[in-house]
Amino acid sequence: MSKISISVSALFLVLAGSSPAYAYLDPGSISLALQALLGGIAGIAVTYRFWLFKLKSFLFGSKFQTDSKNNDNDNDTKQPK
């Protein structure tokens, strides 16, 4: 979440035309700030889906087990070694 906050702040500062200390932003850099934000949202979405399936599985039983299992795998996508 903290990275999202940083990104949101970064975007806000840029778009508000503020002039922080070190400076220079080209369109490539804005895409990096945006990427951090969108990456954060995508990360939250994965976690959200994971817990949603867990909840459905808890509430409705085995019907959602398969989905939950798949989502477990998604959530555990291999991180870099």
Partner 1 sequence: MILNQASFRDPVGRVYEQNNRVFRNVNNSHREFFNRFLSSAFFTQNRKKIVDTKFIDSIPGEKKKPTTTFWLEHEKIELITYPHEWGFETLKRVALFHLQLQKEAFAEGFVLKDASPYNVQLKDGEPIFIDLLSFEDYREGSFWYGYNQFCDNFLNPLLIRSFSGIEHNQFFRGSIDGINTKITSKLLPMRSWLSYNAVAHVHLKAWAERKVDSTFSGLLLPPQSGVSSKNLIALWESLARFIDKLKVREKTYWGDYENNTSYSVVSENAKSQLIARFISKNGLQTVVDLGCNSGRYSRISLKNGAKRVIGLDFDGVAVDKANSDNFLRKQNFIALQFDLMNPSPAIGWKNRERVTLFDRLPQVDAVICLALIHHICIAKNVPIADFVKFLFTLSDIVLVEFVPKTDPMVKGLLSRRVDVFSDYSEETFKEALLKFGKILETHHIEGSERKVYICQSK
Compare residues 29 and 58 and give the one whose CB is closer to partner 1.
Answer: 29
Q: Where do runs of H (alpha helix) occur along 1-81?
A: 2-15, 27-60, 65-75
Give min distance, CB of 62 to partner 1, in A: 25
Give min distance, CB of 31 to partner 1, in A: 5
User: Distance between CA 30 and CA 47 in Å, rounded?
Assistant: 26
User: Distance between CA 67 and CA 74 in Å, rounded?
Assistant: 10
Q: Where do contacts with partner 1 occur on this chain (CB under 8 A)? A: 3, 6-7, 10-11, 13-15, 17-20, 22-36, 38-43, 45-46, 74, 77-81
